[in-house]
Amino acid sequence: MNRKFLLTVPALAIAILAANWNPKGGGHESMFKKMGTTDPKACTEACMKMAGSKYVLFNGASKGFYQLDDQKKPQPFAGQKVQVTGTLDKATKTIHVTDIKAG
C-alpha cells in the first residue's frame, strides 16, 4: 500500500547513486580524494555528470537509499539536508515526490 508522508532526514539527504558506482572501488571517499573536496554539493554535482547517475534520498540514520521518481525537483538541493513529501512505494523503495524543502 502506498501512503503520503513527510520524511525529514537527519544526515545528508539528497545524495547520488550512480548505476556504475561500486563501493568496493572506494565509493564516496575515493571520489572525494579524486575531486580534492569533501563538499557534498560539489561531489553530488560531479557524480550527476556520470552516465547512469540519479538523485536519491539517503537516510543517514538507517544508511538506506530511496529512489526519487522526479529527477528535476532534487537538483537545487544537491548535497543538502531536506524534507521530502510524497508517496512511498515500499516494493521498489521509490518516492513519488510532491515537494522538497531545505531543512
Greater confidence (21 vs 27) lies with: 27
User: Global pTM?
Assistant: 0.70
Give Dmax over CA atoms of the chain in angstroms.
44
Mean of the pLDDT values across residues 32-45? 77
The domain ranges of the chain are 3-102
How far is it, in rounded angstroms, from Cα 35 to Cα 2? 39
Residue-level pLDDT at 20: 41
To the nearest whole percent, how much of the chain has pLDDT over 90? 18
Label residue 65 exposed, middle or buried (CB < 10 Å: 0-12, 13-18, 19+): middle
Residue-level pLDDT at 63: 77
pLDDT tens for each residue of 43-75: 778 777 776 688 888 887 777 888 999 999 998
